């Protein structure tokens, strides 16, 4: 094991994460640079971050794009080109840290533009062995990646952080072997509040076709699978069976059942809210709550530029033929 810092800049975005940061930040000690980008926490989050040696950066959203992740790529004074986004309720396993260390220490460095990392969920502090995990593109070369502007500012419950879609990257991607633990130590009510907001966002985009357009930006088998699931009439049941039966979540006991039910409940929320929006839009004399057709800006801009993209590579690197848009992750958060 090398004692040298891993040449990766880590970004942890926070708002009232005092319950999670004491577990998250120590797991990141081997990385050369750690930023905590905070949105007005009032629970002592910033003090905890500073006590753990992280660099605290305040963030105030102006209600427009770029949102928080792209703002970080545009404005943080990174010392390294490779960036790892870690949620406050996540922590890399020691094996994952070692894997990233070996990757960065390679003779020529990593060649893909980014790497997918599996998220291993935990229920009541216990990591699951089975069930459906999520997968996110969170380790990438910031010069070859960006978060596209998704037209979701009309969704009332949407907030400052990009929704459940992955960054666009110019180049190939790889996948790391070891997982990132997702272990939220907040009370269950926080989970329900968060996923109520997520399901509002997804329902709004599904109701007027914007989600279908995002899925069209996917590639290969991933796009086919998302198209099939997008139109499936029984997504909640399929989500439960996939996690609890096909992925053997039943072997995790009560924790596996809770996780599978949570997945099903989320997709049921999305379905109910989508139908409610469609019913409202089709009612006589009621103006549609969202545009009937996706506006031209409903597709991400191919260059994926923001107004302050000094840290990004030239626009030509993000031509439509080179950008792979990653939409919803493979599981809920």
**2 secondary structure, DSSP code:** -
Parent domain of 121: 6-326
**Does some domain include residue 10?**
yes
In a domain, 331, yes or no: no
**Cα maximum dimension of the chain:** 68
Q: Does residue 1 fall inside a structural domain?
A: no
- C-alpha to C-alpha distance for 265 and 287, rounded to whole angstroms: 30
The answer to whether the beta carbons of residues 10 and 139 sit under 8 Å apart is: no
Q: What is the pTM of this model?
A: 0.84
pLDDT score at 312: 33
Alpha-carbon distance values, 327 to 16, 135, 162, 307 (Å): 27, 11, 11, 22
Other C-beta atoms lying within 10 Å of the C-beta of residue 225: 13
In a domain, 151, yes or no: yes
Looking at the domain assignment, is residue 177 inside a domain? yes
Count of structural domains within the chain:
1
CB 18 within 8 A of CB 43: yes
3-state secondary structure of 82: strand
Please indicate, yes or no, if residue 332 is contained in any of the structural domains: no
Interval 209-251: pLDDT, tens: 888 777 665 655 555 666 666 667 789 999 999 999 999 999 9
Digitized pLDDT (tens) for each residue of the chain, 333 residues in all: 567 999 999 999 999 999 999 999 999 999 999 999 999 999 999 999 999 999 999 999 999 999 999 999 999 999 999 999 999 999 999 999 999 999 999 866 678 999 999 999 999 999 999 999 999 999 999 999 999 888 888 888 878 999 878 899 999 999 999 999 999 999 999 999 999 999 999 999 999 888 877 766 565 555 566 666 666 778 999 999 999 999 999 999 999 999 999 999 999 999 999 999 999 988 776 555 544 333 334 334 444 544 443 333 332 333 333 444 444 443 444
């Amino acid at each position: 094991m090398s004692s040298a810092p891993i040449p990766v800049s880590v970004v942890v975005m926070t708002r009232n994460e005092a319950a999670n940061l004491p577990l998250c930040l120590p797991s990141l000690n081997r990385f050369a640079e750690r930023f905590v980008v905070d949105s007005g926490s009032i629970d002592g989050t910033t003090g905890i971050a500073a006590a753990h040696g992280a660099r605290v950066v305040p963030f105030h959203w102006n209600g427009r794009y770029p949102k928080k992740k792209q703002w970080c790529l545009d404005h943080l004074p990174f010392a390294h080109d490779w960036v790892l986004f870690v949620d406050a309720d996540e922590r890399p396993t020691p094996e994952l840290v070692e894997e990233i260390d070996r990757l960065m220490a390679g003779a020529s460095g990593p060649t893909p533009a980014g790497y997918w990392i599996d998220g291993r969920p935990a229920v009541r502090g216990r990591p699951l062995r089975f069930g459906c995990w999520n997968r996110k593109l969170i380790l990438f070369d910031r010069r070859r990646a960006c978060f596209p502007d998704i037209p979701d500012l009309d969704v009332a419950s949407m907030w400052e952080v990009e929704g459940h879609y992955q960054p666009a990257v110019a180049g190939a991607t790889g996948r790391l072997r070891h997982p990132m633990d997702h272990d939220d130590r907040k009370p269950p009510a926080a989970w329900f509040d968060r996923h109520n907001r997520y399901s509002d966002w997804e329902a709004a985009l599904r109701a007027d076709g914007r989600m279908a357009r995002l899925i069209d930006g996917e590639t290969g088998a991933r796009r086919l699978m998302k198209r099939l699931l997008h139109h499936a009439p029984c997504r909640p049941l399929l989500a439960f069976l996939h996690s609890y039966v096909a992925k053997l979540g039943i072997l995790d006991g009560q924790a596996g059942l809770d996780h599978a039910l949570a997945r099903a409940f989320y997709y049921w929320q999305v379905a109910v809210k989508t139908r409610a929006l469609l019913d409202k839009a089709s009612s006589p004399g009621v103006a549609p709550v969202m545009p009937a057709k996706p506006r031209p800006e409903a597709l991400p801009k191919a260059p994926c530029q923001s107004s302050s993209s000094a840290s990004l590579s030239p626009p030509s690197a993000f031509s439509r033929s080179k950008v792979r848009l990653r939409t919803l992750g493979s599981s809920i958060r």
